[in-house]
């Protein structure tokens, strides 16, 4: 009888732990998803960031450590803050694992001058470290390895999303939902041609 009573008391806790609420729910821990999460948190919102894999950052932490920038003067906001944090990361001599700082040659449009407070090229591990640090500085709850149930996982009321359900059964409810998942099919359909 005691075991049955304990089980009955424990079941609501299991159900409760499967439901998460926040002001803003962001599906996709890509660079854009992280930037949206950081800015939303800084504006005073409770934010949940859901990443379908075990690693945030998308292409930024996956190997795209140099891009064609053109005029760096137009880069601002969280993107500039990221590149400034990359420079701070590499200002620590212990973070030069694969080569010496003196050997580093930044070529092309992304060249960093000595007077700049930002660095424009980086290793994936540096990007991951910096992005995780930026997330940790905010009150952002991150859920890893949670994939949206694409058949039944989006619940709407009056054409507005009320909650989403993951393949694991976890449900996320919020006022605003942002889709920031990189999908190569979406990129092709948008004309990006990846």
The CA distances from residue 164 to 27, 114, 141, 145, 158, in Å, are 10, 47, 16, 15, 15
The pLDDT of residue 184: 52
pLDDT of residue 169: 96
**Which helix (H) or strand (E) is 85 found in, with range?**
helix 77-91
Q: What is the pLDDT of residues 87-131, one digit of tens each?
A: 999 999 999 988 777 777 666 556 677 778 998 889 999 999 999
- Residue 47, pLDDT > 90, answer yes
Place of tokens 């948008």: 190
Residues 6+ apart with CB under 8 A from 19: 170, 171, 173
How many angstroms separate the most distant Cα atoms in the chain? 73
pLDDT digit string, tens, across residues 78-87? 999 999 999 9
Q: Which domains does the chain have, with CATH numbers?
A: 20-65+123-194 (3.50.50.60), 67-122 (no CATH)
Q: Average pLDDT, whole number, for the chain? A: 85
Question: Per-residue pLDDT tens for 16-39?
Answer: 459 999 999 999 999 999 999 999
């Amino acid at each position: 009888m005691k075991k049955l009573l304990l089980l009955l008391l424990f079941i609501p806790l299991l159900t409760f732990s499967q439901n998460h609420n926040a002001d803003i729910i962001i599906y996709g821990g890509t660079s854009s998803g992280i930037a949206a999460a950081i800015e939303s948190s800084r504006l005073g919102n409770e934010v949940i960031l859901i990443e379908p894999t075990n690693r945030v950052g998308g292409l930024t932490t996956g190997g795209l450590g140099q891009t064609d920038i053109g005029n760096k003067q137009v880069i601002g906001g969280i993107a500039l803050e990221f590149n400034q944090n990359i420079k701070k990361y590499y200002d620590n001599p212990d973070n030069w694992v694969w080569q010496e700082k003196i050997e580093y040659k930044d070529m092309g449009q992304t060249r960093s001058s000595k007077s700049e407070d930002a660095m424009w090229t980086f290793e994936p591990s540096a990007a991951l470290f910096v992005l995780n640090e930026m997330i940790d500085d905010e009150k952002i709850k991150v859920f890893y390895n949670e994939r949206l149930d694409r058949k039944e996982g989006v619940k709407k009321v009056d054409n507005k999303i009320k909650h989403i359900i993951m393949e694991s059964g976890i449900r996320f409810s919020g006022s605003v939902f942002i889709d920031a998942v990189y999908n190569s099919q979406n990129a092709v359909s948008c004309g990006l041609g990846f």
